[in-house]
Structure 1
Amino acid sequence: MEKLDIFVKGVGTGREQAVRGLISNGFDIDAIYDQTPIPHNGCRKPRTRRV
């Protein structure tokens, strides 16, 4: 392998640690793509319950 393209999904520290782990193991990273799903106001949220 010469270069890696990394596709990450989601938020948090786990994805950053995974990328750092690949770098520390000597992998040459060409690009990092963020594929976190972002809603475009699709479904309506259920109403809040009133007691």
Structure 2
Amino acid sequence: MSTGIFGFKARRRATPFAAQTVTANALRTVEDQGLTQAKVRIKGPGPGRDGALQAIRYGPIRLVSIEDITPLPHNGCRPPKKRRM
């Protein structure tokens, strides 16, 4: 599912409310199929992450665990060369 399906355009797509709306709708769909409990794995930063977590926590499905699988850099990218004058 994506936020564009629910009428969110441009800047409003990246809001916590849009993420909460999409997640709540996805939970209703999954609940109709008979799912009662779930393990949640969250990847990446952003404002939509917290909104989605709230929708999952207050939704009809029981949470077994929440796991953060955001990749972390070991040393990061190589910095640019020093400027020579």
Structure (1 or 2) with the greater strand fraction = 1
Residue type of the alignment partner of 1:14: G
The alignment-based identity, stated in percent, is 37
- The TM-score, its normalising length taken from structure 1, stands at 0.71
Residue type of the alignment partner of 1:45: P
Q: CA deviation at 1:50?
A: 5.6
Which has the bigger relative contact order, CA under 8 A and spacing at least 6? 1
- The TM-score, its normalising length taken from structure 2, stands at 0.48
Question: 4+ runs of 1 displaced by more than 6 Å?
Answer: none
Q: Give distance in 2, aligned partners of 1:10 and 1:28.
A: 23
Task: Give the 5 Å matches for 1:6-45.
Answer: 6-41=40-75, 43-45=77-79
Q: CA deviation at 1:21?
A: 0.9
Which consecutive residues of structure 1, in runs of 5 or more, have no partner in the other structure? none
Q: Give distance in 1, aligned partners of 2:55 and 2:46.
A: 15
Q: CA deviation at 1:8?
A: 0.5
Which consecutive residues of structure 2, in runs of 5 or more, have no partner in the other structure? 1-34
Structure (1 or 2) with the greater helix fraction = 2
After superposition, the C-alpha distances for 1:1-51 in whole angstroms (9 at most, x for unaligned) are: 231111101112211110111222211111011011100015413235567
Alpha carbons of 1:5 and 1:45: their partners in 2 closer, same or farther (altered >3 Å)? same
Query: How many residues were matched structurally?
Result: 51
